[in-house]
Amino acid sequence: MKRVLSLSSLILLTLIPFLGHAKSKIVWKTVTYKAPDNITCKGYVAYDAKRKGKLPVILVVHEWWGCNDYALKRAMMLAELGYFAMAVDLYGDGKVATNPTEAQALTAPFYQNPKLALVRLEAAKEERKKQDRANTENISAVGYCFGGSMVLNSVGLGMNLKAAVAFHPSLNGIFPPREGNPCRVLICH
């Protein structure tokens, strides 16, 4: 009997994410915002309209390719989990690289001037204030590869986030977190 109960419990636990997904209503929209360095950025927000109240915000920071389908897919996945996800456009104008040479050229200014990512991420944080479903007191960021490096550098420069997660970032140039910055950091390398 215990074995049957355990097997039933395991099956139920496996199906729970799919049960919630059937009830969600994901809203997906493009947002355009201006960074202080006069660059127009094209980001995307996604959230579950069936969830009540303000939702915790996660800024999704793209790989070196730019804000492409992968970043959008990650934002959608986070929205399905109940977050207000914003895929951030660090490069501006929706630029996306099609080959490594282009990607390297797009990332170079950010490695030369780490404050550039901070400026663009702060602009994205300001944009989310215009979104009525976004909880402005509960913001985190997740970045992939180049994006993870930029999130870590921005936190080190003083960006105020609840949490920062970096997946396989470059560990060169990471600034130590400023004393008193409450951001919790997870690096998955």
pLDDT in tens, 67-108: 999 999 999 999 999 999 999 999 999 999 999 999 999 999
pLDDT of 3 higher than 70: no
Task: Share the mean pLDDT of the chain.
Answer: 87
Three-class SS of residue 17? Answer: helix
**Strand 40-48, strand 184-188: pairing:** unpaired
Give the CB-side neighbour count of residue 29, counting CA atoms within 13 A. Answer: 12
The token pair that represents 15 in the structure block = 């199906």
Confidence of residue 2 (pLDDT cuts 50, 70, 90): very low
Lowest-confidence pick of 27-31, 158-162, 175-179 = 175-179
- Strands annotated E in 75-158: 84-88, 134-144
pLDDT of 15 higher than 60: no
pLDDT of 141 higher than 60: yes
- pLDDT at position 189 is 83
Confidence of residue 17 (pLDDT cuts 50, 70, 90): very low
- pLDDT at position 178 is 67
Confidence of residue 122 (pLDDT cuts 50, 70, 90): very high
- pLDDT at position 177 is 67
The token pair that represents 134 in the structure block = 């976004």
- pLDDT at position 18 is 44
Cβ neighbour number for residue 151 with a 10 Å cutoff: 32
Contact 84, 127 (CB under 8 A): no
Q: What is the mean pLDDT of residues 59-74?
A: 97
Confidence of residue 14 (pLDDT cuts 50, 70, 90): very low
